[in-house]
Amino acid sequence: MRIALFGGTFDPPHVGHLILGQALLNFLDIEKVFFVPAFIPPHKKGEHFSSVEDRLRMVELSIRSNDSFAVLEIEIKRGGISYSIDTIREVKNNFKLSRDNLFFAIGSDNLLDFDNWKSPDKILDTCRVVVFPRPGFDVNRVKDDYRKNVVFLRTPLIDISSREIREMVKRGQSIRYLVTDEVNRYINSRGLYK
């Protein structure tokens, strides 16, 4: 079994996340993509983000029409700061996977920041890191070590971010088509990002 982990804050999950999840299925022969909402994202400590209940619910609503997508509550259950290396190790053991059958997907913004992650080299040893390009990404800015050890996926550039979506809601603009209709309704009903 080949599986992929796609971690994030998902505040909110947007259609970019879904397009990229589908790309993992299409190009890497992966059976299941697990979306993993962070309990406390290490890089966003001190920032304000929506409750874990809201973020989890929005991920569930986003992915429910795709049987090959699932949500994994592993970081929520573990609590504390959500370090990816802990998640990757736990999933690898639970599913009894080899390195080649476990993929960990990140956007290129995160690859540029990879040195600041907990145990980046151990992450690369434990699983296969897949990188999605994001607008403005320059591969020359990536350390050689990382560049050689990750898989770059040739997905379309998607200029959508959760941050921009939150700002649009705050400005009173419609976020229709940037998130699924159900997520849009959920954000409205909960009054998120106002």
Question: Of 97 and 130, which has the nearer Cβ to ligand ATP?
Answer: 130
Place of tokens 């106002």: 194
For the bound state, the minimum distance from the C-beta of residue 45 to ligand ATP, rounded and expressed in Å, comes to 13
H-helix or E-strand containing 188? helix 181-190
The residue type at 63: I
CB 116 within 8 A of CB 88: no
Question: Of 70 and 158, which has the nearer Cβ to ligand ATP?
Answer: 158
Interaction site with ligand ATP (CB under 6 A)? 8-11, 16-17, 20, 106-107, 109-110, 132, 134, 158, 160-163
Question: 3-8 and 102-107: which strand pairing?
Answer: parallel
Question: Of 118 and 163, which has the nearer Cβ to ligand ATP?
Answer: 163
Question: Of 88 and 98, which has the nearer Cβ to ligand ATP?
Answer: 88
SS3 of the chain: helix, strand, coil, percent, to 5: 50, 15, 35
For the bound state, the minimum distance from the C-beta of residue 96 to ligand ATP, rounded and expressed in Å, comes to 26
For the bound state, the minimum distance from the C-beta of residue 122 to ligand ATP, rounded and expressed in Å, comes to 18
For the bound state, the minimum distance from the C-beta of residue 66 to ligand ATP, rounded and expressed in Å, comes to 16
According to DSSP H, which parts of 29-73 are helical?
A: 52-63
